[in-house]
Amino acid sequence: MSGDVEKDGTISVTENGESCPTCHQYFDKEDECWGNYVPLTRDEEAILAQMRTVKVKVTEVKRRLEELEGRNGFEPVSGDAVDGAATKEQTQWLEQKQNLDMLRQEWRQLDEKRQEAAAFRMKILGHED
């Protein structure tokens, strides 16, 4: 049974001494599986994918903000500035700041969902009550 996994002390190994076949893709060749790796649930994977999307958007918004702030003579304005008093760049800057705040809020919500999904997984596995 070359595909069977046996416990050698605390390390999961196959008969020929290779690392655990169920989790080998998650470890470098130098790393060893201690048999404690638990794959993510589909919900966790979906949430993490959404979080990566938000991260990409945040990076783009921050780049735009730096670009606007880097222009000569640019001065940021507060959100309660009179619409007619703000320049086009200042208006764009305010929009990007608001966009960044919305993305941060979305990140927090996704992180809460991720933590709930992780707690649910741990309950299913019997690690938590």
Which band of pLDDT confidence, cut at 50, 70 and 90, is reported for residue 33? low
Domain definitions of the chain by residue range = 1-37, 42-125
The model's pTM is 0.65
83-113: pLDDT as tens digits? 566 788 888 999 999 999 999 999 999 999 9
47-84: pLDDT as tens digits? 999 999 999 999 999 999 999 888 877 787 776 655 56
Residue with the bigger pLDDT between 8 and 58: it is 58
Residues 6+ apart with CB under 8 A from 54: 103, 106, 107, 110
Average pLDDT over residues 1-5: 42
